[in-house]
Amino acid sequence: MSTELEKIFEGILDGNSKLVVETIGLAIENGIAPAQILNEGMIAAMAEVGRLFEEGEYFVPEMLIAARAMQKGLEVLKPYLTEDDVQSPGKVVIGTVKGDLHDIGKNLVAMMLEGAAFEVIDLGTDVSPERFIEAIKSNNAQLIAMSALLTTTMPNMKTTIEAIKAAGIRDNVKVMIGGAPITQSYADQIGADGFAEDASRAVVKAKSLLSK
C-alpha cells in the first residue's frame, strides 16, 4: 500500500479528520485513483474499525470519531466520484431504515447516484415507512433505496415494502436494498426488486432497474 493510503487508513482508525482530509488531497495530487483511495484507504479502515469493535478494543466513541473522519474524507472525494455530462436516469428516494443510525454506506450510495446524475432525495437515517411513502409520493420518485446495517433493523425493509404495497404505489416504484448484512436472497425473500453489494454496483443496479 502507498504511504498516502496507509496514512488515510490509520487516520480513519484514529479519528484524525485533519490528517485524512489533507492526505486525500495529497493522494489525488499524486495521481492515486479516487476509487483506490475509497476502497483501499477508507472502506478498508471502516471494516477494521468494525473488527476492533467486535474484539472489544474499540467502543462506540471510537467508532463515532472514525465515522466522522470517514465522512470528512468523503466530502473531499465527492467531486472526483462523478460522471460528467450524463442525462438524469431518474429520481431516487434514499434512506437508512427505521431504528438504524448508520449512514456512511447510505451516503456513499447517494453520492455515487448523484455522481451518475440521478436526482437524489436523501431522507437521512431512522426513516419510517410513512416517511419513505410520503417522499415517494411527493417527489414522484421511481426508485426507493433502503440501507440497513443492523440485523435487528433489516426487517424494517420488509415492513416498508409492505407499507408501500398497502399505500397502493408498489407498481410505481422499484425497490433497491443494501447494507452489510443484506444479501440477494434476503432481497428475494422480502420482494425487493434489486440488491447491490456496494455503492458502485448500486449505481449499475439502479440504472438497470429504471431501464426495465
Cβ 44 to ligand B1M shortest distance, Å = 9
Is residue 73 at the binding interface for ligand B1M, with CB under 6 A as the rule? Answer: no
Is residue 146 at the binding interface for ligand B1M, with CB under 6 A as the rule? Answer: yes
Instruction: Map grid coordinates 478498508 to a residue.
Output: 44
Is residue 210 at the binding interface for ligand B1M, with CB under 6 A as the rule? Answer: no
- Cell numbers at residue 83, please? 460522471
- CA 12, 184, 97 angle in degrees (round to 5)? 60
| φ, ψ dihedrals at 174, nearest 5° | -90, 150
Is residue 204 at the binding interface for ligand B1M, with CB under 6 A as the rule? Answer: no
The interface with ligand B1M within residues 151-180 (CB under 6 A) comprises 151, 176-180
The b-or-e profile of 149-171 (16+ CB within 10 A means b, else e) is bbeebbebbbebbebbeebeebe
66 to 13, 31, 203: CA distances (angstroms): 6, 25, 26
Is residue 43 at the binding interface for ligand B1M, with CB under 6 A as the rule? Answer: yes
Out of 49, 76, 187, 192, name the contact with ligand B1M by CB under 6 A. Answer: 49
CB atoms within 10 A of CB 11: 26
Is residue 63 at the binding interface for ligand B1M, with CB under 6 A as the rule? Answer: yes
Is residue 46 at the binding interface for ligand B1M, with CB under 6 A as the rule? Answer: yes
Number of residues that bind ligand B1M (CB under 6 A): 37
- Can you give the binding site for ligand B1M, defined by CB under 6 A? 43, 46-47, 49-50, 53-54, 60, 63-64, 67, 99-106, 108-109, 145-147, 149-151, 176-181, 196, 198-199, 202
